[in-house]
Structures are given as structure tokens and as C-alpha cells.
Structure 1
């Protein structure tokens, strides 16, 4: 029996949330360290696979490199080999022959498996620290690849023909490949169709170790994708987007790949508050504070997103979203708190039969005032009498001898009375 850990899309150095909390970048190191400590070192696997995107970017800081070295050194000290390929985030740019994965390979932290400059799969050369495939002591053959982008279908044909031409493997054959499968995630252009991957199966690949898509999926007992180690966005929370690392057992028959998600990850919680036209700004603020109090234990040190939906009786600008977001984050003790305003101001429009005669101008104006007042929660119950007041003010303002200060004072007194 052979056991290994399949990891992909680690994205060390991810910094999308640096303005909201610069410590978010450190989460990706902590998750990677926790996953490999639990499911590689403590599980005593035979080897670890990294199917692309160890790093978020091609150019990394010394601190990010040190994070990778720290984790990989622990795995190396446990006597567990790590075999990796490049992804679209950390591959060599065109015309460049080296990258940080190559550096880690030459420092014996991992084995970077990739075809040579002519695209051929060569056996691993320990002295040169290069090779396209490696036959491990446990009998498993691991084959590497590169990031092919749009040329992936053609590259698959070439890989399949080369795999068929290799000397027979002692045991199972694994191919590391960084690309997505069609139908596994929405709004993704360039995904491979299943039939485009079939030549690899026919060439003898028993386990296709994928990366690139940040969601776990498995197809036909030979295609496996673990998803990202840590969430790259709020949408990648575990409830909506299962992902993690795969602890795989190879015995006679199909591979048994178990998704593991219980290593350390930053919790993410999403809430929706549905509003009604009767809700005023103060009502909304109160409801948000109550929501935080009800879920405060879950929100502590978590990434929290609250979205306001529905219809409201005020304009978006009347709610100080940024200031309120800061207050709620402090009250929740959240790691990151996002308040989203997706509600729409209620719109009122009086029905008028298109075949009927248009009403008098004054009636139209009064109805416009009524509709505008009814769209504001504070005035909805008094829209009709207040519309008559506005009509009266309008008529007075049009008089040549209108006393504007007196009109304003009268309106202020009326507001206080009501």
C-alpha cells in the first residue's frame, strides 16, 4: 500500500486583503504548514505532490521564500520527498530559464519535474537536479509537466505519446498537471474537455493530479483536484466551495482519495440581511448590531461578510457604510469585516391609463411629490398630506413677493409638529 498527499494552489504570498488586514498573507503560510504537518508528516505518507502555484507570484520577497523553505524543510527532515510542477502564477516567463521553484529544487527542498527544453520527458538526474519523471522507491512513477495555457490540448497529445514510450513502471503512474476541467467552475474560459484528457488515461496514467481550480472535484476515479489550500476569496468559503488537500491511498484497483479540510484555515462567514421599504437608516444600523451580537462567537477572528439586500426607503449615501463597517468589525472582533450594500431604494410610480386623458398639471405635480415622499421611510405614512404642503410652498415661492425665510421657518415648524 502506498499513501501520498496531493496539494495544489498554495499561493504563498497572496496579498489581496493587505489593505483590510496585512496579516492575511500569513494565513496562507499557516494553512500550508498545518496541512503538511498533519497530513504528510504525522500521517507518514510516502511522498507529497504539489500540482502548481506554490507561490502567488513569480517575483516573491525573501520572507515568502523563507515560508516555503520552513515548511519544506520539515517535510524533508521527515524523509518525505516533495515532487512539484509550476503553475500559471509561478511559472517561468517566456525567455527566462529559472524561477523560485528551480531554486528550491537545486537546494534539495523539492523535485521540480518538467520536460526538457525540447519538450521531452527525461528520467530524473540527481546530479543535474533535473528531469521529467521519477520512479520512487515505493514503486510509483511520478511524471511532471509545465503550464501550457491555451496550448494544453496539443501538449496532452505530446505527453501521452511520450508516456507510452517510457520504460514500463513498477507500479502506478501519476501525472502532475496544472489545468482545469470543463464544468467544474462557472465563468472559466479555456477549461479542458474530458475527452481531451482521455489520451493520458489511454497512455497509462492511473492518477491525474490536477491543480488550478480552487474547488475539489474527482472524475471517473482517475482525475483528482484538491482545490486551494486556503481561500483566495470570500466566495471560496468551505460551505460554498469545498476544498483542501487529498490524502490518497494506492492499492490494487482505483485510487482512494479523501478530501481533508480540518487543518488550520481562516474561518469565513457570510450573512445576508434582507431589508424592507419601512426600514430607516437607524433601523438598519440596529439590525446590524443585533446580527453581530447573535453571531459574535463565530465572527471572532474570522473573515465576515454581511450583505444588505431587498428594498430600502433611503438612498445608499444616507448609510455611512465605511464608518459602520469599522464599528461592526470592532464589535465582532473580526479579522476582516465587509459590509456590502446590494439593496435598492424603493421606487413608487402611480399607475395611469395610457388611453385616458392626461390629468391637470397640478395633479401630476402633486402625485410626483407624493411618490417621492412615499419612497422615503420616514415620510411614507404622511406622503399625501406632506405633498399638499409642498404644493402650497411651491405656489407661494412662485409669488413675486414670496418671503422665503418665512416659508422655510413654517416648514421647519411643521416638521417639528409632525
Structure 2
């Protein structure tokens, strides 16, 4: 029986959250190291596949290169070959003939499998450290490819013809291919249809090792995608988007690929707090603090996202999101804490004046005042009497001999908490 590890989308050097926490970049190294230590070295696999995007960027720092060398050297010392292809993040730009994957290949850390300049699959040549496919001692043939982008359907046809023309393989045939399958992720343009991949199966590919899409999926026991090793965004949390590495057994019958997720990864937790129009700013702050207290044990050293939804009776600017986010991160002892405001202000509706169905203008104006006041939680319970007082103040201001100082004195004499507010508003 042959056993191997299929990984993809390692993205060493990923730095999206460096402003929140610079140590986030190390998480991708830790996940890569933990996954290969556990499911390659300790599991004593025959070989490891990297189906593209070992690095986040084509240009990397010496520190990121050292991370790759550290992990790959451990695997090499265990006598386990690593076979890799380029992804869209780490492929050679047009007109450039080398990159950091080529460097790692020439240093004997991995086999970089790719067609030659004419698109032909040549056998692996240890002297030049180049080739499009290699026949491993365990009897498995592994074939490489490139990042083809929009030309992938045409490239598949050429690859299928090339594979059919190769000498017979002693055992199973694996193809490394960095591209996504249609229907696996929403809002993803350029994914391949199943029928576009089918020529590869007809050409003799027993295991199509995909990368590129950061979630796990498998189709008909021959198309397999492990997903990213570590989450590239909060949306890639394990609860909603299972991902990891695939530990695969090849024996008689279809490949048996088991998704492994229990290596080291940074935990991600997402919460939603639904607000109501009666909630004040103080209420929201209190509810957030209570949420942190309830889930503090899960939030510690995790990436945390809390989203505020629903309707609120205050303007967004009244809630100091950035300041509150910092306080909550400290209280939760979270690695990264994100507070998102997706709530909407309470809507109100009035009539347009001048239509046959509309009430008198004064009634419309009073309704506008009432709606505006009701949209603020602090004034909601007293919206109607306050609106009447505002109407009285508007009428007085429009008088030719309006006495502004008297109006200020009148306003100062009113008590917002007084049960007689409505009566005072009526008096003229």
C-alpha cells in the first residue's frame, strides 16, 4: 500500500493581519511545520505533494525562505521526497525563468515538476533537476503542471494528449494541478467545469491533486482538494469552511483520502450580536462585555470576529468601534479581535404633502418629528410629547416678533423626565 500527504496553499509569508498582530505571519509557518511533522514524518508517508502556492508572493524575504527550508529539510532528512508545482502566487512572471521554488528544487529540497518550454512532459532528470514527471520507487507516477489561468481548458487538452503518450506507469498516476472546480466556492470567476477536467481521467489520471480553492472537497474518488493549511481570512474558519491536509492511501480500488485538521492552527471564532431599536450605546457595550465573559476561554489567543446586526436607535458614529474593539481584545486576551458594525438605523416613513391621501401639513410635520425622535433609543419612550413641544417651538420661531431668549428660557424650564411634558408642550 502507498501512503502520501497532499497539501496545497501554504502561503508562507502571508501578512494580511500584520497591522492587527505582526506575529500572524508566523502562524503559516507553524501550521506548515506541524502538518508535515504530524502527517508526513510521524505518519511515515512515501511522499508529499504540494499543489501550488507554497509562498504568498513571488518576492519573499530571507526569513520566509528560511521557514520553507527548515520544514523541507526535516522532511528530506526523514527520507521523504516532496513533489511540488507552482501556483498563481509563486509562479514565474512572464519572461522570467526562475523563482524561489526553482531555488529550492536546485538545493534538493523538492522536485519542481513542470512541462518544458514547449509544453512537453519530459522524465525527471536528476542532473538538470528538471522534468515534467517522475516515477517514484513506490510505483507511483507523479506528473506536474503549471499555473495556466484562463488558458487552463486548452492546457488540459494538451496535458491529456501528453499523458496518453507517456510510457506505461507501474502503478497509479497522480497529476498536480493548481486550479479550482466550478461550484465549490461562491463568487469565484474562472473555475473549471467538471467536463473540462474529464479528459485527464480518460488519459489515465487516477488522482487529480488540486490546489487554489481554500476549502476541502472531493469529487467522484479522483478529484481531491485539501484546502489551505492555515486560514487566509476569518471567513476560512473550520466551522464554515473545512480545510486541512489529505492523508491518502493508494491500494486496490479508489484512493482513500482522509482530511486531517488536528495539527496546529490558529483558532478562529465568529459571533453575531443581534441588536434591537431599544438598545442604547451603553446597552450594546454591556452586551459585548457579557459576550466576552461567556466565551473568554475560547477567545484566548484566538482570532475573534463579532458582528453587530439588527436595527439600532442611534447613529453608528455614537459607538466608538475602534476604541471598544481594543478594550474587548484586552478583556478576551484574543490574538486578534475584529468588531464589525452591520446594524442599520431604525427606518421611518412619512407622507408627502400635497397628495389627496395625505393628512394636513401640521400632522405630517409632527409625524416627522415623532419618527426622528423614535429612531433614537434615548428619546423613543417620549417621542410623541417631545414632538408636540418641537411643533410649539417651531410655531413660536416663525412668529414675526419671536423672542429667542424667552424660547431658550422655556426650553430650560422643561424637564425631560416630567410626566407633565406633554401638557407643557401643548401650552402656548
TM-score with structure 1 setting the length: 0.97
Deviation string for 1:68-121 (max 9, x for gaps)? 000000000111000000000000000000000000000111110000111100
Contact 2:353 2:361 in 1 (8 A): no
Tell me, yes or no, if structure 1 residue 107 matches structure 2 residue 92. no
**Residues 408/264 of structure 1: CA separation in 2 closer, same or farther (3 Å cut):** farther
Query: What do you get for the CA RMSD once the two structures are aligned?
Result: 1.5
Q: CA deviation at 1:52?
A: 0.1
* CA 1:145–1:362: 2 relative to 1, 3 Å: same
97-106 vs 345-354, which moves further: 345-354
CA shift for structure 1 position 236:
0.4
Unmatched 5+ stretches in structure 2: 419-428
Give the deviation of 1:401 after TM superposition: 4.3
Hey, what's the Cα distance between the residues in 2 that align with 1:276 and 1:226? 41
Residues 351 and 364 in structure 2, CA contact (< 8 A), matched pair in contact too: no
How far the C-alpha of 1:409 sits from its partner, in A, is: 4.7
**Cα shift at 1:404:** 3.2
Bigger CA drift: 408-417 or 165-174? 408-417
Q: CA 1:88–1:77 in structure 2 vs 1: closer, same or farther (change >3 Å)?
A: same
- Comparing 407-416 and 271-280, the one that deviates more: 407-416
Q: Distance in 2 between matches of 1:382 and 1:354?
A: 29
CA distance in 2, matches of 1:67, 1:135: 28
Contact (CA 8 Å) 2:351, 2:358: kept in 1 or not? Answer: no
Q: CA deviation at 1:20?
A: 0.9
Name the SS for the 1:279 alignment partner: coil
Query: What is the CA–CA distance in structure 2 between the aligned matches of 1:179 and 1:8, rounded to whole Å?
Result: 11
Which deviates more from structure 2 when the two are superposed, residues 79-88 or residues 15-24?
A: 15-24
| In 2, Cα distance between equivalents of 1:354 and 1:244 | 64
CA 1:404/1:92 → structure 2, altered by over 3 Å: closer, same or farther? same
Tell whether 2:329 aligns with 1:326.
Answer: no
Q: CA deviation at 1:414?
A: 2.4
Query: Secondary structure of the equivalent of 2:84?
Result: strand
For these two proteins, the number of residue pairs brought into alignment is 418
C-alpha distance 132-350 of structure 1, shift in aligned 2 (>3 A) = same
For the 8 Å contact 2:9–2:52, the answer to whether it is kept is yes
Q: Secondary structure at the match of 1:83?
A: strand
Distance 1:146 1:343 in 2: 45
Distance in 2, matches of 1:409 and 1:187, equals 60
Shift of 1:360: 2.7
> How far does the alpha carbon of each residue in 1:144-172 deviate from its partner, in whole angstroms, 9 at most, with x for none?
00000011111111111111111111111
Task: Give the 3-state SS of the residue equivalent to 2:308 in structure 1.
Answer: strand
Partner residue of 1:413?
A: 413
Mark the CA change 1:164 to 1:375 in structure 2 (over 3 Å): closer, same or farther: same
Worse overlay, 351-360 or 231-240: 351-360
Question: CA separation in 2, counterparts of 1:286 and 1:410?
Answer: 36
Deviates more, 1:52-61 or 1:374-383: 374-383
What's the offset of the Cα at 1:365?
1.4
* Aligned partners of 2:214 and 2:243 also within 8 Å: yes
Deviation at 1:413, TM superposition (A): 4.4
Task: Give 1:416 deviation, angstroms.
Answer: 5.2
- Structure 1 portions without partners, runs of 5+: none
- How far apart, in 1, do the equivalents of 2:68 and 2:360 lie? 76
In the TM superposition, residue 363 of structure 1 has moved relative to its aligned partner by 2.0
Equivalent residue of 1:416, what SS? Answer: coil
What secondary structure sits across from 1:200 in the alignment? helix
- What does residue 17 of structure 1 align with? 17
